[in-house]
Amino acid sequence: MNRTRMIHSRVDMESYLDQPLYAGFDAGVLERHGADVHLLHEANGGARCSLWWSQVPGLPGERLGVLGHFSAATREAALGLFEAALARLREQGCTRVVGPMDGNTWRSYRLVTGAESEPPFFMEPFNPPDWPDWFEAAGFTPLAGFVSALNDALTQRDPRVPKALQRMQAAGIQLRALDGARYEDELRAIYRLSVQAFSGNFLYTPIDEESFVAQYCPLGRVLRPELILLAERDGVLVGYLFGLPDFNQAARGHGIDTFIIKTVAVAPGRDTAGLGSVLAAQSQRIALELGYTRAIHALMHESNVSLNISTRYAHVMRRYTLYQARLAPA
């Protein structure tokens, strides 16, 4: 008996939303994220995922499928779901599947695969510790690794930064904090630089401006603008650092002493070389003045320049893995 249902719309999903497997799940993301189909495996406690094959990241020599919106109650349910999901992607001519990824890298992706004692931070992916084993039992292997690092001494200084800052200022680049009163306009400038700076990133997928703004607008109500640094030349954004408090500390009933460096982006060019280091140093100095004592450098690809900057201050506190599986022809 086939115990896996195919769900194509929010309306189709509504009758299943009372199941524990869908606790906290917003059925509207099926349409907002452009999933091609959602699968619900009903045996052994249940498992779910969405699949993408029409609009997916590019990978040279491959027709990629993407598996995301994943959750499973048991190992047996996960394996049953994976079997149905991989069969569906083979039918679509996919040669490789990556996951977990909610459609593209602008959204949630990766599994926590190695952790120290630090609790999850705000906007960090979270998963039960068994999930990586379930992916690997289904034949998935690591495709890419990522880390988050902790700087628990914000008084540290990089001796190379003052000279780099002088060079930036001589090139006409000035730093300022985000203007919270113009948050949406600032977001649009951040979007334009992001698509330029990240276009060469691993598994990059374009995103339209309205989707980007809709994704980040809700954060405007809680952000501290002082932790978001913008680097401009002649009024044009050439770099930014997006930082924010670790609100998960407050949710656990503690004071917030940690801020998160979520994203650093710099326009390509010789005259912006070193700007990422300047932004990281300045943000940590400002955070210290605001009363923070720790910084989390979040979710860095193991080959990114940002990781080189981070190692000057911080030690790895968490590891993440994005998985892949090769698909034999149907």
Question: Shortest CA distance to 10 belongs to which of 22, 21, 2, 26?
Answer: 26
pLDDT tops 60 at residue 1: no
pLDDT tops 70 at residue 328: yes
Are residue 98 and residue 229 in the same domain, yes or no? no
Distances (CA, A) of 35 to 6, 51, 78, 105: 12, 6, 19, 14
Are residue 174 and residue 52 in the same domain, yes or no? no
Are residue 120 and residue 203 in the same domain, yes or no? no
Are residue 81 and residue 158 in the same domain, yes or no? no
Residues 52 and 34 sit within 8 Å (Cβ to Cβ): yes
Are residue 141 and residue 223 in the same domain, yes or no? no
Are residue 105 and residue 13 in the same domain, yes or no? yes
- The CATH number that applies at residue 197 is 3.40.630.30
Are residue 257 and residue 176 in the same domain, yes or no? yes
Are residue 40 and residue 23 in the same domain, yes or no? yes
- The CATH number that applies at residue 140 is 3.40.630
- Supply the angle between the helices 209-216 and 183-197 in degrees, to the nearest 10: 120
Is the alpha carbon torsion for 103, 227, 223, 261 positive or negative? Answer: positive
Are residue 220 and residue 196 in the same domain, yes or no? yes
pLDDT tops 90 at residue 99: yes
Are residue 135 and residue 44 in the same domain, yes or no? yes
Residues 207-236: tens digit of each pLDDT: 999 999 999 999 999 999 999 999 999 999
> Taking residues 86-103, what's their average pLDDT?
97
How many helices (H) and strands (E) in the chain?
10, 13
CA angle, residues 140, 144, 145, in degrees to nearest 5 = 110
pLDDT at 59: 87
Range of the domain at 199: 151-320
Average pLDDT, the chain: 94
Residues 135-182: tens digit of each pLDDT: 999 999 999 999 999 999 999 999 989 999 999 999 999 999 999 999
Residues 256-270: tens digit of each pLDDT: 999 999 999 999 988
Distances (CA, A) of 89 to 26, 36, 171, 199, 325: 24, 10, 50, 26, 11
pLDDT at 86: 97
Are residue 104 and residue 162 in the same domain, yes or no? no
Are residue 126 and residue 259 in the same domain, yes or no? no
Q: Provide the domain count of the chain.
A: 2
